[in-house]
Amino acid sequence: MENKLSKREAIINAAIKVFSTKGYHSTRMEEIAILAEVGKGTIYEYFASKLDLFQKMLEESVKVYFTEVASLDDENLPFAEKLLLLLAGHIDFCKEHKELTRIVFWDTEIIDEELKEWSNQMRKEKEDYMTEIIKTAINKGDIKPVNPRILTYIISGVLGSLWAPITLDNWEVNTEDLAQEITDIVIRGIGL
């Protein structure tokens, strides 16, 4: 039992590494098998197909993201604090799990209609979740009564655009400072 679990984990971890580095189509099952130190056939004991492995890996990655990046709705904090926490969590996650972030936030390779749907659905859920928080903040008189949807796009946009410089350019940045600066701009604006 324990063995089985650890094999499954080894495969998922290998999958994250290879898929996020090479993309879905350029990844060979054999490469994952080698990296996971299992036989090629063993992968099929745990996953039905390459697509299934990719999906399972995606799901688990998203789970890890949501576990690590602080959940915001259960905290009774002012919006600025929540935003700061979200940004800091996201930036740390980017720095620690460079490969994973690509998959969770950026991968748009079109593989399968169903997966596309799932991916799109996940995006909408994230947006809805964020929009709800914003609405609450507006209702509580925490922030101006801006269009919640538009603010959602601004925030998720920043989260997305940070991945490239941190991962690809190896931008070494202090998490707290960056989160604070972004929050400041969003809260106070750039106008004089």
Q: Interaction with a copy of itself in 122-151: which residues (CB under 8 A)?
A: 123-124, 127, 141-144, 146-147, 150-151
Select 45 or 96, whichever has its Cβ closest to DNA: 45
Convert residues 99-118 into a mask of x (bound to a copy of itself by CB under 8 A) and - (unbound).
---x---xxxxxx-------
Q: Contact region for a copy of itself (CB under 8 A) — 30-38, 41-49, 58-66, 153-161? A: 153-161
38 counts as binding DNA under rule CB under 7 A: yes
CA torsion sign for 101, 102, 105, 107 is: negative
Select 3 or 67, whichever has its Cβ closest to DNA: 3
176 counts as binding DNA under rule CB under 7 A: no
48 counts as binding a copy of itself under rule CB under 8 A: no
22 counts as binding DNA under rule CB under 7 A: no
CA torsion sign for 107, 108, 111, 116 is: positive
- Rounded to a whole number of angstroms, the CA Rg of the chain reads 19
Give the separation between CA 49 and CA 72, rounded to whole angstroms: 35
Residue 102 burial (CB count, 10 A) = 21
Q: Contact region for a copy of itself (CB under 8 A) — 17-25, 36-44, 47-55, 61-69? A: 17-25
41 counts as binding a copy of itself under rule CB under 8 A: no
CA nearest neighbour of 162 among 84, 120, 106:
106
Q: Which residues bind DNA (CB under 7 A)?
A: 3-4, 7, 27-30, 33, 38-42, 44-46, 49-51
Q: Which residues bind a copy of itself (CB under 8 A)?
A: 21-26, 79-80, 102, 106-111, 120, 123-124, 127, 141-144, 146-147, 150-151, 153-154, 156-162, 164-165, 168-169, 178, 181-182, 184-192
